Structure 1
């Protein structure tokens, strides 16, 4: 059986600049490319349930022409999951707490079905107060047309076109 999660991690970490160039060009223009450092895999434990979750990819990068850093967290998701938005928020909160750095969260959805757009925010609201509005960047491959990437000279585009809408 193919370990899609591992393959995605290898692809994105090997071609991180190309991944950002293809899907997050605004983030790429804000970073110093020479400072990209991949951090060890984080294992986060839910203290109430004892469940352990592993962060897919975490990079520490420096803002261009500044002395400050931030984290880019990339999570590969191969199936639709109702609680994903809450889980991504929990990852964000734990990473922010541990590293005391801003976190740019990204989810890359690689499943074929369902075709509907996946939610990209998590909120906590009351009738009289919006307590939390958390958003993350989403790349949902089955919402993209492979034809738009056909002429790209980018290895990430070549590798992911088969997961795009055909």
Structure 2
């Protein structure tokens, strides 16, 4: 197309050729500017869309993680409250509370059930001693 265009232009006189080239150059510049503008707009729109989607995804993941952590924390606090109610506030000392707060979810749930079987604080201490060190 470009070669055909140049051949057609050569048929005109020099002043007309220059005028046609100026118009053509102007159109090309306008086309480039429009292309750049559209490209930027599309890029920004896609970037925002991806950013929002990624932000939502991260927000949901972070919210779930925080919710699980808060739920576990509340479950530990509940187990400690139940133990204090069963054996008295003084019987569950700070060290024992710290050991319970360090337990993972599976162990804290088992402990919640075992509370019913404990007769003394010593039963609790023995139960905790039987746990594997990684728990």
If the TM-score is normalised by the length of the shorter chain, which range does it land in?
A: under 0.3
TM-score, length-scaled by structure 1: 0.21
More helix by share: 2
Normalised TM-score (structure 2): 0.24
